[in-house]
Amino acid sequence: MSVLVVTGTDAAVGKTMVTAAVTALALGRGSSVAVMKPAQTGLPPGVAGDLDEVIRLSGVMTTFELGRFPEPLSPAAAARLAGLPPVSLADAARQVRELAESNRLVIVEGTGGLLVRFDEDGSTIADLARSVNAQVLVVVRAQGGTLNHTALTLEAMAHRGLDLAGVVIGAWPHEPGLAERSNVADLEMLAARPLAGALPEGAGGLGRDAFAQAARRGLGATLGGTFDPLVFRQQVL
């Protein structure tokens, strides 16, 4: 796995926490890691963004934010409203390929969901993933509504021939209700594989060492952690 694209079923599902967690575990194994955020929306220049959270939680040193737009919209709409040129995913893909030559792992965190538009031509993070032959890690909600969003995302990936790295619950609640517990088995059925992880709610408030421990417990073996989906399922059902 040299290039991993982290996408989600929607905005605010935990993509940044999952990106930080995968990064922290890879760095802990001694791997060289580069993290890219092609477009940061919803924040003005000079304000800490998603990459700053990844740096704070994981300690990664090599990061790239290619475009920033103040309005909390899709990258295409936010660029248009700001009167700025949109992020070129073709240029992003070229940079990812270069980074992959000198880093063991390159992680690309998307904005919003898989098919959010980055420019007026309709380029998406799915296009970038396909152009760099990346695996795609899908971050999902635990709550009600997640099943339809997850099914649509996975169907869109399959239609485009994208390689699924796994499905991770971005924020598993401290006190899950019936819907959250029931969704676990259904999410695995949709993905046709066990969960690749479930990070605890509030993980972003932890210090770096505690976050690394939470990442190890919350991510499965393919992502460098010790999360056991069978044990997790038995605990929550």
| Residues 197, 22 contacting (CB under 8 angstroms) | no
SS3 per-residue string spanning the chain: CCEEEEEECCCCCCHHHHHHHHHHHHHHCCCCEEEEECCEECCCCCCCCHHHHHHHHHCCCEEEECCEECCCCCHHHHHHHHCCCCCCHHHHHHHHHHHHHHCCEEEEEEEEECCCCCCCCCCCHHHHHHHCCCEEEEEECCCCCHHHHHHHHHHHHHHCCCEEEEEEEEEECCCCCHHHHHHHHHHHHHHCCCCCEEEECCHHHCCHHHHHHHHHHHECHHHCCCCCHHHHHHHHC
Kindly name the residue from 15, 37, 117, 141 that is annotated as catalytic.
Answer: 37
In angstroms, rounded to a whole number, what is the distance separating the alpha carbons of residues 166 and 235? 20
User: Which pair of structure tokens corresponds to residue 59?
Assistant: 């300690």
**Which amino acid, residue 97?**
R
Known active-site residue 37: yes
Catalytic residues: 37
